[in-house]
Amino acid sequence: MASKKISMAVIKRLPRYHRYLNYLLELGIKRVSSKELSSRMGITASQIRQDLNCFGGFGQQGYGYNVESLYNEIGNILGINKTFYCIIIGAGNMGQALSNYGNFIKRGFEVIGIFDVNPEVVGKKLKNLEVMNLDSLEEFILHNRVDIAMLCVPYRETATVADRVARLGVKGLWNFSPMDLKIPYDVIVENVHLSDSLMVLGYKLNDKFERE
Amino acid sequence: MASKKISMAVIKRLPRYHRYLNYLLELGIKRVSSKELSSRMGITASQIRQDLNCFGGFGQQGYGYNVESLYNEIGNILGINKTFYCIIIGAGNMGQALSNYGNFIKRGFEVIGIFDVNPEVVGKKLKNLEVMNLDSLEEFILHNRVDIAMLCVPYRETATVADRVARLGVKGLWNFSPMDLKIPYDVIVENVHLSDSLMVLGYKLNDKFERE
DNA sequence: TAGATTGTTAATCGATTAACAATC
DNA sequence: TAGATTGTTAATCGATTAACAATC
């Protein structure tokens, strides 16, 4: 796979294509042209064709794209056929919300462990998993394959926990803290900065009202 | 404010500047040059100066930027000095997580109501608010100023609830469902597509492993 | 004043859109 | 075959970076 580098702008659109194709699939639609997908998604047909052609020629001239096979192709590119083993660190509301989010498993993300420090929470069952004490984190990771750690601990703890997890060889961090992690290990971090997103919404609202 | 349009790329970086400046403030640092901020944030000094100059000349030649006043300026631009009144719809784990997230209030987002349909949840106290029945949504919005609705309901309900809320004049939606809302009202939607974010992380992990 | 650093213009780079030959 | 639609190249647009005169 000595492919040319694909830009993040393209990658970030893939899950969205995947969702739309899934929707078409559920509607029983068999084929779709870039033009039709374009009008549904509100992006140009040109962009759709460019994006898809980063990964291969999935379409057929004069016909368009087969919905099911394109859905599967994009799924493969995103790796949802593989399983990523995940742990959730911090079993507060956010951690619990993630543990209950059934959509993840459909997309290949399986939660195999949940950790917390709070004695009132440790031992509690969430879904089919018992919350473990954070002290046993090291042991757990040594004995189980863990690809991704989902960090849902309070702000103050995040940097420490992230470092601890990365040191043990976990390769992906999904960070819910409003901070940018800097870790001296070879780790991929994906941030979910909720307050950033909310502030952008606030900006847009202000902007709109001021202009009107 | 007949200003030239500011690109989303710039807007989206503002909360991040805001966070870093807050951090510098906490460290007791009084002034910062674009060069120093650049090395801390990992973006070019040029970009920082360009971004800030979209909104005004906040710096001083030969000196740099005063941390506190720049922090405040960006806060103003983001509107965190104003209060946005918010309701949470859906008091499941995600809704509860949001209701407990104290950071929002600091940034001007105040939750004034929480709604659910589940009789087991309605009436329950979350923080200082009692979960209301979704049936009383209309009445509540008519009698209270609601700027933003945070949608934490299951996938199937999202479109309906979004429409209902928008029809009542709520101007901002913060959407946690993995779907792109299409609403025939004049509403600003900001999406938090958690599974999209997770899939991008999955892609990056795959990509890295395949290349190595 | 000399040094530092901004604000801003110009140059570059990358991403999006348009166009069209290839082909189903 | 004629019509449709892709894959792909070329043109455009926008965002980032570089450069430097202005000025504190």
Residue ranges of domains in chain B, CATH in brackets: 8-77 (1.10.10.10), 84-196 (3.40.50.720)
Pairing of strands A129-130, A125-126: antiparallel
Does residue A49 reach within 7 angstroms of strand D, measured from its CB?
Answer: yes
Can you tell me which residue has its alpha carbon closest to the C1' of nucleotide D4? A62
The more confidently predicted of residues A152 and B211 is: A152
* Token code pair at residue B100: 């407990």
pLDDT at A148: 98
Q: Which of B142, B162, B152, B132 is nearest to B89 (CA)?
A: B152
**Residue A53 CB lies within 7 Å of the nucleic strand D:** yes
Q: CA of A5, closest CA in chain B: separation in Å?
A: 10
* Shortest distance, CA A169 to any CA of chain B (angstroms): 13
What is the rounded distance in angstroms from the CA atom of residue B34 to the CA atom of residue B48?
Answer: 6
Q: Which residues of B102-131 are buried (b: 16+ CB within 10 A; e: fewer)?
A: eebeebbbebebbbbeeeebbeeebeebeb
Q: Is B172 on the interface with A (CB under 8 A)?
A: yes
Q: How far is the first Cα of chain B from the last one, in angstroms, to the nearest whole number? A: 51
Tell whether residue B56 is among the known ligand binding residues: no
Q: Is B142 on the interface with A (CB under 8 A)?
A: no
A116-140 residue pLDDT tens: 999 999 999 998 999 999 999 999 9
Which residues 103-132 of chain B have a CB within 8 Å of chain A? 103-104, 107-109
Q: What is the pLDDT averaged over residues A88-103?
A: 94
Strand C, nucleotides covered by protein (CB < 7 Å): 2-9, 14-19, 22-24
Rounded, the Å distance between the CA of B47 and C1' of C13 is 14
CB atoms within 10 A of CB A31: 16
What's B60's DSSP letter?
A: B
Please name the residue of chain A whose CA is at the shortest distance from the CA of residue B106. A195
State pLDDT tens for residues A96-109.
999 998 889 899 99
How far A206 CA sits from the closest chain B CA (Å)?
A: 7
Q: Is the CB of A70 under 7 A from strand D?
A: no
The H or E element spanning position B99 is: helix B93-99
Tell me how far apart the alpha carbons of residues B12 and A112 are, in angstroms, rounded to a whole number. 34
Region B9-14: mean pLDDT is 98
pLDDT digits (tens, 9 = 90+) for A23-66: 999 999 999 999 999 999 999 999 999 999 999 999 999 999 99
pLDDT score of B212: 60
In this predicted structure, the answer to whether residue B22 has a pLDDT above a threshold of 90 is yes
